[in-house]
A = this chain, B = another copy of it.
Amino acid sequence: MDPVRIAIDAEGGDQGVPVVVRGVLEARRLWGDAFEALLCGDRAPIMQQLELAGCTDTGVWLHVEHCPERIVDSATPSQVWRRHPGSSVVRCVSLQREGAVDASVSAGDTGVLMSTAVFLLGKSPGVHRPALAATVPTVGGGLAMLLDVGANTNCRSEHLVSFASLGSEYSRSLFSSEEPRVALLNVGEEHFKGTPVIADAHETLKQECRGYVGFIEGSRVLSGDADVIVCDGFVGNAMLKVCESFYALTERVLSSDPRLLETVTRRMAILNADNYGAVPFLGVRGIVLKAHGRSSAQAITSAVGTTISAVRRGAIPRDGVGSHRRREHSYAR
C-alpha cells in the first residue's frame, strides 16, 4: 500500500517547530512506512531540529518545503490564502490542491485554515459552511461525533441543519452505521427551550433528517444516546475543551496517589486531547485536519495517526463529505 502523503504545517502550533518535528519523528517510529511527511515552514529551524534529533531521512520519507513568508497578524482569516501564498499553512493546502499530498494538517488558526481550504479546495456540493467534527467517547464504550467544534462561532439555523447532514454522512462512513441518531444540543429537552435559531433548526430537522432524535443536553453528550451531536462552533469548542480541563482536574484529584493516577490516566487515555490530535473539516473537498493550537509533540503524533486513518478508511472522500444524500447527482461536477 502506498504511504499516505501528508503536508504538515510546521509553524502552526503555539509551541512552534520543535514540537512538530518531535511529533512527526515519533509518528515515524510508530507507523513506519504508512506515511510520508512534507513539513512546510522556515527551512533553517526545521533542519536544525532534525539535526538535533539525529534524523538523516530528509528526501526519503521526510521532505521540507521552505515557506519564507509569515502571516501578518492583522490579515483577516479569509484574506490569508491570497495575501500570504508562501506561508506554511497556505503551502500545505496548495500542495494538496496540486496533488502532491493526500491530506493536510495544521495546528494554526482555525479560521485561516478553513478559509484557505474552502478557497483552494472548494466546498462539497450543497454545503453551507464546513464544520470541524470531533469524535468523543461515550459512557457505553462507543464513540459519538460532536460538530461544529470551532469553525463557525455564529450559526444560523440552516448551518446547524447542514452540520446534521455532514455529521450523519461522516458517521455512516466512519462507523458503517445505517442510520446515525442525530441530536441537537440545547439547554433542555422540552420543545420551548433554547434560542430561536435552535427552535428553527429543530423544526427543519424534524422534517428533513431521518435519524433525528430531538434535543440533547450537555449532560448526555457523552452518554451514547446520540451518534451525532450538532451545535454551533462556539459551544462545541467550549464543551470539547472543558473535557480537557476535566482531564487535568482528574489528574490533580489523584495526584497524591501515583499508582492510582497511573491506572486512571491509562484507562482514560481516550479522553486526553493529546490522543485525538486533530479533527477533520467536513464539507471541504479534501482531507484537511485541524490540530489543537496548544498541541504537544504527542498530539502531533496522534494527529498524524488520525490523518493516516482518515485517508485509509476513505471516510472523507477526495471530493468531500457533505453532499446531501438527496443531492447525490450534484457530485457530478
Select from chain B the residue with minimum beta-carbon distance to A243: B246
Given contacts A234-B187, A238-B185, contact A222 B194 (CB under 8 A): no
| Cβ contact of A194, chosen from B153, B242, B245, cutoff 8 A | B153
B219–A140 touching, CB < 8 Å: no
Chain copies in the assembled complex: 2
| Cβ contact of A241, chosen from B110, B218, B240, B251, cutoff 8 A | B218
Can you list 22 A-B contacts with CB-CB less than 8 angstroms, sorted by A residue number? A109-B188, A137-B249, A139-B245, A139-B249, A140-B252, A153-B195, A187-B233, A188-B293, A194-B234, A218-B242, A219-B273, A221-B242, A222-B242, A223-B245, A231-B238, A234-B235, A235-B235, A238-B239, A242-B242, A253-B264, A254-B264, A260-B260
| Cβ contact of A245, chosen from B140, B219, B251, cutoff 8 A | B219
Decide yes or no whether A268 CB sits under 8 A from chain B.
Answer: yes
Q: Give CA–CA (A267, B252) in the complex, Å.
A: 10
**Distance of A108 from chain B, by nearest CB (Å):** 11
Shortest Cβ-Cβ A-B pairs, 8 listed: A218-B241, A219-B241, A222-B245, A218-B238, A218-B242, A219-B244, A187-B237, A139-B252
**Distance of A220 from chain B, by nearest CB (Å):** 6
Decide yes or no whether A13 CB sits under 8 A from chain B.
Answer: no
Q: Which residues of B contact A220 (CB under 8 A)?
A: 245
Total interface residues on A, using CB and 8 Å? 58
Q: Give CA–CA (A253, B264) in the complex, Å.
A: 8
**Distance of A34 from chain B, by nearest CB (Å):** 29
Q: Which residues of B contact A263 (CB under 8 A)?
A: 257, 260
Q: Give CA–CA (A192, B112) in the complex, Å.
A: 12
Q: Which residues of B contact A178 (CB under 8 A)?
A: none
Q: Give CA–CA (A296, B137) in the complex, Å.
A: 25
Q: Which residues of B contact A150 (CB under 8 A)?
A: 187
Q: Give CA–CA (A13, B153) in the complex, Å.
A: 33
Decide yes or no whether A258 CB sits under 8 A from chain B.
Answer: no
B218–A240 touching, CB < 8 Å: yes
> 7 new A-B pairs (CB below 8 Å) besides A188-B293, A221-B238?
A218-B241, A218-B244, A219-B273, A223-B245, A246-B271, A254-B267, A260-B264
B248–A222 touching, CB < 8 Å: yes
**Distance of A136 from chain B, by nearest CB (Å):** 9
Select from chain B the residue with minimum beta-carbon distance to A196: B154
Decide yes or no whether A66 CB sits under 8 A from chain B.
Answer: no
Q: Which residues of B contact A153 (CB under 8 A)?
A: 187, 194-195
Q: Which residues of B contact A251 (CB under 8 A)?
A: 139
Decide yes or no whether A59 CB sits under 8 A from chain B.
Answer: no
